């Protein structure tokens, strides 16, 4: 009798097969030596092909650009720009790579990244990707949230329901960053209450609670000791119900970071001990794991595997 695999998969591309293939192709030239190495495609070509195929699916494009900008080297992007100076995708990728790699303490690097992101956004007026990269850079630098407000307004003008952008703001307003529990909760509920049925924004209040939980653990002392009670508050039940009813059970359209949202939902259901619901979420999720929020537990992979088995999803 064959046993079902319990192997856990932790990948930045999540379950995006086409993105996974592009990442493999990007890395391949660096791994080839000798015969055949000089006939490989340039590192930027798989990125160009993938973004061209992605088109104006801003949700998936945002996810793909975010992952690729952490892998593609500045030199590869510069070669792409030189080879195809009229490529809008090359301009956007160059801006995002600069934003990701800019040292927060370097005024020069941050300034260049900001200029590139604004230029890319101007050249590609419908695409929110470069502005989201800029927003993330502003969060990492610790700039006041009011400085980020114009960027945020332009992002949601371009793509009102962009999941990735909402999660950047959520982390910006988190008590672990530059906000408070009240700030992040208010933002999350406002966005969720205006989202259409099936939108992943229905999970934002749970994401805010996860930030609250992580902050309590980080604080130590009595806050850490009582942190687990956060998942048994009355408001937590309302948030779980919204996530299940408003997203999980509503036949949502596929979105790029569904794996991340399923991990969040499974974690929250486990912490609240809604185990029958957790089992259904784990069954849809399969072996795909994200580190957050499982990394709030002592052994993230072991915890994910345990609860996946405990609920009968494996």
pLDDT digits (tens, 9 = 90+) for 127-155: 999 999 999 999 999 889 899 999 999 99
Of 169, 154, 153, the residue nearest 201 (C-alpha): 169
Residues 6+ apart with CB under 8 A from 299: none
Instruction: Indicate the length of the chain as a whole number.
Output: 314
Rounded Cα distance between 311 and 314, Å, is 8
Rounded Cα distance between 29 and 25, Å, is 7
Within 10 angstroms of residue 52's Cβ, the number of other Cβ atoms is 10
pLDDT digits (tens, 9 = 90+) for 180-236: 999 999 999 999 999 998 999 999 999 999 999 999 999 999 999 999 999 999 999
Model confidence, pTM: 0.92
DSSP 233: S
H-run or E-run covering 209: helix 204-219
Domain boundaries, the chain: 10-32+40-160, 202-314
195, 161 Cβ separation under 8 angstroms: yes
Question: What does the mean pLDDT of the chain come to?
Answer: 92
Buried b vs exposed e over 121-130: b needs ≥16 C-beta within 10 Å?
A: beebeebbbb
3-class DSSP state of 288 = strand
The whole-number pLDDT of residue 6 equals 65
Residue 280 has pLDDT above 90, yes or no: yes
Of 180, 191, 94, the residue nearest 152 (C-alpha): 191
Q: Does domain 10-32+40-160 have CATH number 2.60.40?
A: no
Q: How confident is the model at residue 27 (pLDDT cuts 50, 70, 90)?
A: confident
């Amino acid at each position: 009798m064959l046993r079902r695999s319990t192997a856990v998969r932790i990948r930045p591309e999540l379950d995006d097969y086409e993105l996974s293939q592009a990442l493999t192709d990007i890395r391949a030239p660096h791994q080839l030596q000798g015969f055949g190495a000089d006939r490989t495609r340039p590192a930027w070509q798989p990125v160009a092909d993938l973004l061209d195929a992605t088109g104006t699916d801003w949700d998936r494009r945002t996810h793909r650009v975010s992952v690729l900008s952490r892998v593609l080297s500045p030199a590869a992007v510069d070669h792409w720009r030189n080879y195809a100076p009229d490529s809008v995708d090359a301009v956007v990728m160059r801006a995002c790579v600069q934003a990701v790699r800019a040292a927060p303490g370097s005024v020069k690097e941050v300034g260049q990244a900001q200029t590139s992101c604004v230029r890319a956004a101007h050249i590609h007026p419908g695409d929110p990707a470069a502005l989201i990269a800029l927003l993330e850079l502003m969060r990492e630098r610790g700039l006041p949230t009011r400085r980020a407000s114009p960027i945020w307004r332009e992002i949601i003008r371009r793509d009102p329901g962009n999941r990735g952008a909402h999660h950047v703001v959520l982390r910006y307003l988190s008590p672990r960053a530059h906000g408070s529990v009240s700030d992040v909760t208010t933002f999350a509920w406002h966005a969720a209450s205006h989202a259409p049925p099936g939108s992943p924004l229905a999970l934002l209040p749970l994401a805010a609670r996860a930030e609250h939980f992580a902050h309590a653990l980080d604080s130590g002392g009595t806050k850490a000791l009582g942190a687990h009670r956060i998942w048994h508050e009355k408001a937590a039940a309302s948030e779980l119900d919204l996530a299940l009813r408003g997203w999980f059970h509503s036949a949502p359209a596929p979105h790029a970071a569904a794996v991340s949202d399923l991990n969040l939902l499974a974690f929250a259901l486990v912490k609240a001990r809604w185990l029958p619901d957790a089992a259904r979420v784990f069954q849809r999720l399969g072996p795909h794991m994200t580190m957050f929020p499982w990394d709030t537990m002592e052994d993230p992979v072991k915890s994910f595997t345990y609860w996946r088995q405990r609920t009968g999803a494996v």
